């Protein structure tokens, strides 16, 4: 398995150049290409009041502004890909909905790359819902890049979150191209000592470590007793290990339960300190 086609979500993004550069360098590392997909429909937020009514029909103005903004985003994407020397770079215009556009085109890619929404965006809530929907619906693994910070692919230090679930196994499998290239991979299971027994968890973690090692991954295993919510504990453990990438399953307990309880997925989407590769 390799990431020969990387699908990049062309969205409103204040540091789009940095994010496109990451996707481009990642594709080059695997001798692949980047395909961008963007939606030219306006995001579902109201026009800015009276100005639109004075200058003309508000819907017409909003559609024109959305088109101009989308064209500008595409131009940035194509320029950065050209500077990276990538072959056969495309920018697809799909005007269904942004989420549908990403999910439908992900069928023809190996990896989806998108960005964590910036809290400063006026449509932050919409972008955040969009990321959550893509994580839930994408047929391919999704790599989410933080809205702040600088990261160079491929990552040298990776933390793989393990909990013995099918989602964790799928995520580790989806990340194998990156795991093989890493200098060190930490296979990490966080557990609450009041509810789980370390000795009962070790055998499966050892088997998972052996499986990754058989794929040529330089892996170490770790069981961490922690009473914090798993997402917070994972971020803390990642910081201690200098993680340049997290790998984890998404919506492991069902999206409704995750939404009610907060959930590890939601914590990582909101508070990631490094890129996160999710697989559902």
What pLDDT score was predicted for residue 220? 97
Distance CA 223, CA 197 (A): 11
pTM of the model: 0.90
What pLDDT score was predicted for residue 4? 95
User: Does an H or E element contain 248, and which?
Assistant: strand 245-249
* Inter-residue contact 127 to 99 (CB < 8 Å): no
Distance CA 268, CA 136 (A): 14
What pLDDT score was predicted for residue 253? 54
Q: What are the tens digits of pLDDT across the range 56-86? A: 677 777 778 888 888 999 999 999 999 999 9
Strands 142-145 and 276-279: antiparallel
The segments of the chain whose pLDDT lies below 50 read 45-53, 257, 259-262
């Amino acid at each position: 398995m390799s990431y020969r086609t990387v699908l990049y979500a062309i969205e409103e993004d204040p540091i789009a150049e940095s994010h496109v550069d990451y996707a481009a360098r990642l594709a080059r590392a695997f001798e692949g290409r980047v395909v961008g997909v963007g939606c030219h429909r306006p995001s579902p937020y109201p026009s800015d009041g009276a100005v639109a009514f004075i200058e003309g029909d508000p819907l017409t103005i909003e559609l024109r502004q959305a088109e101009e903004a989308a064209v500008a985003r595409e131009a940035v994407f194509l320029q950065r890909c050209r500077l990276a020397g990538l072959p056969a770079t495309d920018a697809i215009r799909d005007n269904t909905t942004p989420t549908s556009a990403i999910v439908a085109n992900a069928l023809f890619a190996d990896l989806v790359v998108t960005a964590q929404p910036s809290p400063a965006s006026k449509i932050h809530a919409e972008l955040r819902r969009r990321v959550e929907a893509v994580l839930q619906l994408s047929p391919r693994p999704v790599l989410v890049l933080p809205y702040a910070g600088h990261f160079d692919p491929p990552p040298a230090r990776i933390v793989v979150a393990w909990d013995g679930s099918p989602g964790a196994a799928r995520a580790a499998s989806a990340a194998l191209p990156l795991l093989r290239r890493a200098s060190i991979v930490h296979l990490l299971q966080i557990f609450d000592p009041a509810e789980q027994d370390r000795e009962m968890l070790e055998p499966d973690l050892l088997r998972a470590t052996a499986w990754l090692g058989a794929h040529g991954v330089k892996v170490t295993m770790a069981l961490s007793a922690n009473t914090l919510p798993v997402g917070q504990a994972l971020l803390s453990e990642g910081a201690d290990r200098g993680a340049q990438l997290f790998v984890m399953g998404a919506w492991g307990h069902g999206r409704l339960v995750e939404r009610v309880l907060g959930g590890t997925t939601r914590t990582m989407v909101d508070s990631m300190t490094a890129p996160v590769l999710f697989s559902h």
